[in-house]
Amino acid sequence: MVNEKLIVAGFGGQGVLMIGKMVALSGMENGMEVSWLPAYGSEMRGGTATCSVNVSDEPVDSPMIQKPTALIIMNLPSLLKYESWAVPGAKVIINSSLVEQEPTRTDIDVYKVPFNDLATQAGNERGMNMLVAGAYAAITGSITLQNLYDAIDHTFVDSKAKFAEGNKQMAKLGYDYAVEHFSK
């Protein structure tokens, strides 16, 4: 049974909303019930951005999430705000390139990934959001890498089709990093 309740949080411009959208689309590609609820400050780039994503094999009762089973934390203010929301045992994926502070809770599973550093090393800073989505797929298993590839193919069409392959490469990089560093 899959019933993932994900909150993605960070600064505007980090691809937070696209990460959530790709997780939701990937769930749809897998035949799951999904919801995606974006929220962002009026400042947009540089302001706060969050989104809530439900991926479930049963109908989603509400797009609002107050007890997430997973968090993707892209900056320190997001850790400070959302850490307490997570259910015990939640998977908390932290952008260790920007968040040096340790979570205070010991009843959550923490995965630190240097997303900014990896994107810079790959020469594709704009593709960092796909790198994050790939790592999320590997860590949680609520979506697959193939579902993510399919979502990329359906999102990057027409004039944006030229970006599909680069985004798939970034998703694979994030997925492979998570498998290498967090497989048991």
pLDDT bucket at 34, cuts 50 / 70 / 90: very high
pLDDT bucket at 12, cuts 50 / 70 / 90: confident
Residues 6+ apart with CB under 8 A from 78: 9, 10, 48, 50
Measured in degrees and rounded to the nearest 5, phi and psi for residue 38 equal -85, 155
- Tell me: pLDDT of 47 over 80: no
Give the HSE-up count for residue 8: Cα atoms under 13 Å, Cβ half-sphere.
27
Bridge-based pairing of strands 33-40 and 48-56 is antiparallel
pLDDT bucket at 45, cuts 50 / 70 / 90: low
pLDDT bucket at 40, cuts 50 / 70 / 90: confident
Per the structure, the count of domains in the chain is 1
Rounded Cα–Cα distance for residues 115 and 127 (Å): 10
Bridge-based pairing of strands 91-95 and 48-56 is unpaired
Q: Dihedral (C-alpha) 165, 124, 119, 76: value to the nearest 10 degrees?
A: -110
CATH of residue 166: 3.40.920.10
pLDDT single digits (tens) 107-133: 999 999 999 999 999 999 999 999 999
Give the HSE-up count for residue 141: Cα atoms under 13 Å, Cβ half-sphere.
5
Compute the Cα dihedral for 111, 87, 89, 3 and give only its sign: negative
Confidence at residue 1, expressed as pLDDT on a 0 to 100 scale = 76
pTM across the whole model: 0.94
- Tell me: pLDDT of 101 over 90: yes
Are the C-beta atoms of residues 96 and 75 closer than 8 Å to each other? no
For residue 178 the two structure tokens come to: 């998570």
pLDDT single digits (tens) 129-157: 999 999 999 999 999 999 999 999 999 99
For residue 183 the two structure tokens come to: 């497989």
Domain extent, residue 69, equals 3-182
pLDDT single digits (tens) 48-73: 799 999 999 999 988 999 999 999 99
